[in-house]
Structure 1
C-alpha cells in the first residue's frame, strides 16, 4: 500500500520535512516513489503539488494523519 507521509530532513532542532508518496513498509527516510511537496515548521512554509497529490489519491494512496492535519482535512 502507498502512503503519503512526511520524511524528515534538516539538522537537530531545525527540522524540514518532505511530503512523499512511499510504500508503507519502507523506513521514514526510505526511497520515496515521488516527492509531492515540503513543510518547514521553523519558517512556517508549506507547499504541495495538488495535481500530484490528487493523482496519487486516485491510485489508492492513503494520507498519513500528520499530512491530513497539514492539509486541513
Structure 2
C-alpha cells in the first residue's frame, strides 16, 4: 500500500480550504484517509501563521514509514524545515508566449510609425 501525504479539499464554492492528510494513493482526493496531519487555508494572507498548520511530529513518523508527499505538500514541508527540497529551475516558464510577443512587436511598430510621422510633420 503506497501512502501519500496530500491535500483533501473542503470549504465551499470559491472558498477553498484544504486538509493535509495521509491517504492511500488509490483513494479519491476527498475520499478516505488515514489521518489528518495539517491544514492549508489559501484564502488567508501569506504572512498569516494560520495559513499552513502542520503536525510536524506525525508527519515525520509517516515519512519514516514511507509516505510520499505531493509537490504542494512537499513545498509546505520544506518551508517548515521538515524535508529538504531541491530548487527547481524552469527558465522557459518566465518567457512570454507567442501571442504576447506578437503584441509587443505590433506596439513597437506602431510607436515607430507614430514617431516617424511626427518627425515628418515637424520637418514640414
Task: Identify the TM-score tier after normalising by the shorter chain.
Answer: over 0.9
List runs of 5+ in structure 2 lacking aligned partners. Answer: 46-50, 79-84, 86-124
Runs of 4+ with >4 A deviation:
none
**Under a length normalisation based on structure 2, what TM-score does the superposition of the two structures give?**
0.57
Measured in 2, the distance between the counterparts of 1:26 and 1:59 equals 18
Q: Secondary structure at the match of 2:43?
A: coil
Higher share in helix: 2
Q: Indicate the structure whose relative CO is greater, using CA pairs within 8 Å and at least 6 residues apart.
A: 1
Return the offset for 1:66: 1.0
User: How many residue pairs align between the two structures?
Assistant: 73
Measured in 2, the distance between the counterparts of 1:71 and 1:12 equals 27
Larger gyration radius, structure 1 or structure 2? 2
List runs of 5+ in structure 1 lacking aligned partners. Answer: none
**Under a length normalisation based on structure 1, what TM-score does the superposition of the two structures give?**
0.94
Q: Secondary structure at the match of 2:22?
A: strand
